[in-house]
Amino acid sequence: MKTYNVFKTFRFEIKDLSKTKMRDLNKTFVQAEMSFYKALELCKEDAEKMLLIDDKKERKSESFKLAKKLQAIVKPLPFSSALKSSVIEGVKAQVLSYVELTLSGQDATYPTKLDQDYDFEYWMDILINSCDVETENLARDEMSKSKVKELRPLTFEKYRTTDGFMILDNGDGRLFAFLNLWGAKDKRARKLEIDMVDTRTGEQFVKKTSTGLLLPLKCGEHQVEGLRNGQAKTAKLVKRGDRYFLMVSVAFEVEARTPEYVLGIDRGIEEIATYTVRDHTGKVVDKGSFSGVQLREHQRKMELAQKNNQRVGKKRIKGWSDYTTNLMHNLSNEIVKVADKYSAQVVIEDLTNIKNNPKMKRKTGARKSNFRRMLSRQQYGRLEFMLEYKLKSVGLPPAKDVLAAGTSITCPKCGNYDKENRLTRDTFKCKVCDYTEHADIVGAINIAGKFINFEAIKTKLKKGKPMPDEFKYNNWLKNNLTL
Ligand SMILES: [Zn+2]
């Protein structure tokens, strides 16, 4: 049986903390924060050095040296092993993000602890809640562009008491987190006898240690079930005002489903995207669009803000990048919802065109759309990634690409291929069979159709030989697809 591995993040609030524990915890946060920025400062010259290296391989070997240097920096610190590696990994990732951004020509500043900037908190939230590497990297990149305010989370990469964290059950359903926070000789070290159930194995866990704290967790059925069905992998402790939260990343195995339907998606003109669901005979069982209303409204506001900003000479537009990221999250969620409902294979246009610089001239025949205006090449890559991740989490395979050439002017009913079929921007009316439909929907029907076509003929194609005419999409669909 094929399975997919997916991660979900569960949030637990830490409750009923004694004053002593809270004081020790706060001190740990401040210490980790200071060490992070101190270490970051000490690595600034290494970052500048990396900027001068053209060769990727050489840069990589520099980053190994950086990790070694960081190990030496944190070694004498009064921390637990977990927090030492948290500082090392955090600084390394931040330095590399700065280097990558600067080398790609973006406006990055070497992060130092300064006064607050508007969207730092937003990206901090994303970093804390992210459950995939890509989103974490994105958040780090954005944080490199802004200044710093909140205390950084403490991260725990291993599930064990010696240098990580564990989630334990005291036997009557109350959950506790053990966090490795300091060395055994630290002033804060107090003897602890753990005798609880390990939520990961369900077995009794007995251990004496003094290198951390056992913290009571507040949680509902949702979190308990998450821990029961998955495996806790990593954790982040977050401080928000006087409250503490533990974000636990849990790994799940999801059974792979065999798609029964094909969900074709086209980027729209009116809406951000349209879709159709077809079965393998071609029958359209559902169609619709993913809302562009909010998008257009926001776009207007953004354009207005940009004009105002230009007037007063401000360079950056607040909230734009936040918006597109949210948009991609929403869009991918909407797509996955439909795919999940029909157990469908998602098919999208091969967006080689969109992946180019938006300022580049359109290829002949390529269409203008909101989608393209909204998403840069980099952002589109992220959308694809989010989509893959979210599809996996419902047991569905990643989206497949088809070439979109001709999909907006081919009649999905009779196969007639003619520019004149596109009556207006919005209306498709076939010159031969009078089939009429919204132009965006026709695109989505054909994108799904092209995939059905490809699946049917792919084994019949001979390598190095041109595709026989009867296999070409518009000819093939005449005899093989019914709407
Ligand atoms: Zn027709």
Distance CA(190)–CA(199), nearest Å, equals: 24
Residue 230 CB-half CA count within 13 A: 24
Task: Tell me the CA–centroid distance for residue 429 and ligand 1, in Å.
Answer: 8
Percent of the chain whose predicted confidence (pLDDT) is above 70: 79
pLDDT at 9 over 90: no
The arithmetic mean of pLDDT across residues 9-35, rounded, is 90
CA–CA distances in Å: residue 277 to residues 274, 446, 475: 11, 11, 21
The pLDDT of residue 447 is 95
Task: Tell me the CA–centroid distance for residue 381 and ligand 1, in Å.
Answer: 35
pLDDT at 367 over 60: no
Task: Tell me the CA–centroid distance for residue 277 and ligand 1, in Å.
Answer: 20
Nearest to 55 by CA among 63, 44, 45: 63
pLDDT digits (tens, 9 = 90+) for 380-438: 667 777 888 889 989 999 999 898 888 989 999 999 999 999 988 889 999 999 999 99
Distance CA(228)–CA(231), nearest Å, equals: 8
The pLDDT of residue 208 is 96
CA–CA distances in Å: residue 282 to residues 32, 223, 265, 455, 476: 59, 42, 15, 12, 12
Distance CA(99)–CA(188), nearest Å, equals: 38
Task: Tell me the CA–centroid distance for residue 268 and ligand 1, in Å.
Answer: 21
Beta-carbon count within 10 A of 92 CB: 19
pLDDT digits (tens, 9 = 90+) for 253-271: 999 999 999 999 987 766 7
Task: Tell me the CA–centroid distance for residue 431 and ligand 1, in Å.
Answer: 7
Distance CA(305)–CA(303), nearest Å, equals: 5
With beta carbons less than 8 A apart as the criterion, state whether 287 and 277 touch. Answer: yes
Q: Which of 233-237, 246-250, 344-348, 354-358 has the lowest mean pLDDT?
A: 354-358
Task: Tell me the CA–centroid distance for residue 413 and ligand 1, in Å.
Answer: 5
Task: Tell me the CA–centroid distance for residue 328 and ligand 1, in Å.
Answer: 34
More confidently predicted of 339 and 365: 339
The pLDDT of residue 103 is 87
Task: Tell me the CA–centroid distance for residue 407 and ligand 1, in Å.
Answer: 13
pLDDT at 317 over 50: no
pLDDT at 373 over 60: no
Task: Tell me the CA–centroid distance for residue 483 and ligand 1, in Å.
Answer: 11
- Grade residue 217 by pLDDT with cuts at 50, 70 and 90: very high
Task: Tell me the CA–centroid distance for residue 403 and ligand 1, in Å.
Answer: 21
Distance CA(463)–CA(476), nearest Å, equals: 19
Average pLDDT along the chain? 83
**Length, in residues, of the chain:** 483
pLDDT at 472 over 60: yes
Task: Tell me the CA–centroid distance for residue 432 and ligand 1, in Å.
Answer: 5
The arithmetic mean of pLDDT across residues 166-195, rounded, is 93
With beta carbons less than 8 A apart as the criterion, state whether 272 and 332 touch. Answer: no
With beta carbons less than 8 A apart as the criterion, state whether 222 and 237 touch. Answer: no
Task: Tell me the CA–centroid distance for residue 339 and ligand 1, in Å.
Answer: 28
The arithmetic mean of pLDDT across residues 349-378, rounded, is 52
Task: Tell me the CA–centroid distance for residue 348 and ligand 1, in Å.
Answer: 23
The pLDDT of residue 110 is 83
Task: Tell me the CA–centroid distance for residue 9 and ligand 1, in Å.
Answer: 49
pLDDT at 159 over 90: yes
Mention every residue, 6+ apart, whose C-beta is less than 8 A from residue 252: 5, 6, 7, 8, 229, 230, 231, 393
With beta carbons less than 8 A apart as the criterion, state whether 272 and 335 touch. Answer: no
More confidently predicted of 323 and 151: 151
The CATH code that applies to domain 261-292+321-480 is: 3.30.420.140
- Grade residue 318 by pLDDT with cuts at 50, 70 and 90: very low
Distance CA(254)–CA(265), nearest Å, equals: 25
Task: Tell me the CA–centroid distance for residue 151 and ligand 1, in Å.
Answer: 62
The pLDDT of residue 100 is 86
Domain extents for the chain?
A: 1-256, 261-292+321-480
Task: Tell me the CA–centroid distance for residue 435 and ligand 1, in Å.
Answer: 5
Task: Tell me the CA–centroid distance for residue 282 and ligand 1, in Å.
Answer: 15
The arithmetic mean of pLDDT across residues 106-114, rounded, is 72
pLDDT at 108 over 90: no
